[in-house]
Amino acid sequence: MCDPGQSEEARGSAQGSPVMKRLGVIATCAVGGSLFALYAVAAPFVAPALRKVCLPFVPATSTQVRNVLDVLRARSGTLVDIGSGDGRIVIAAAKQGFHSVGFELNPWLVWYSRYRAWREGVHRHTSFHISNLWKTLRNCEFVETNQLEAKLQSELQTSAKVVACRFPFPTWTPDHVAGEGIDTVWVYDAKTFKSQVTTAKLLKNSEDSTTPHQ
């Protein structure tokens, strides 16, 4: 027969043994490490929602990518994707002969894009940079974006073309539209929207000069 008191004492001794304590520490560290790893992976995707200007990662659909390539068919030069996400447009454009560059603030997406470009054999024709969307755009020939109208207006060369996905620019008149719904893309010629601004400024200056001063 077993002594109940001795059994409880033995259990208490086992629970308080160095081995059990060590296992408890290891388990705690493992859980803590898992939580940290989860935070490290999730933080770059959640962080955009905490910024003043929210730019969440919304991957382009296969139809949207195809529409972008269709409107740039028979063209050449450098394509720059501002907010390149997982790099699918940059990689697809590189396969069509463009030298393609992606700018993305999320480092995890940039590293993944570089891996995808290497895996698909176009890493020599692509480059991905961890960069703010508001950096200079003076050397761009083609730009794929859905915002930044004012900055593009002031910095792009007149030879540039802009492709907007999902949403058109608020004041520019597109030179070409392809697709429908969320897959719609709008093409803008820098010569067109720069001349529109120049004309507007001339008209405003003309009105100001003819308005009698009080």
Q: How far apart are the first and last CA of the chain?
A: 113
Phi-psi region of 166 (alpha: psi -120 to 50; beta: other; left: phi over 0): left
What integer pLDDT is reported at residue 55 of this predicted model?
52
Amino acid at 32: G
d(CA 81, CA 104): 9
**Residue 95 backbone phi and psi in degrees, to 5:** -70, -20
What integer pLDDT is reported at residue 82 of this predicted model?
85
Tens digit of each residue's pLDDT (9 = 90 or more) over 65-97: 999 999 888 788 889 998 888 999 999 999 999
Tokens matching residue 126? 């692509």
Q: Decide if pLDDT at 19 tops 80.
A: no
What integer pLDDT is reported at residue 34 of this predicted model?
44
d(CA 72, CA 70): 5
Tens digit of each residue's pLDDT (9 = 90 or more) over 132-186: 765 656 666 666 554 568 788 888 888 888 888 888 888 888 999 999 988 999 9
The mean per-residue pLDDT over the stretch 15-40 comes to 51
Listed residue (4, 94, 92, 106) closest to 47, CA to CA? 106
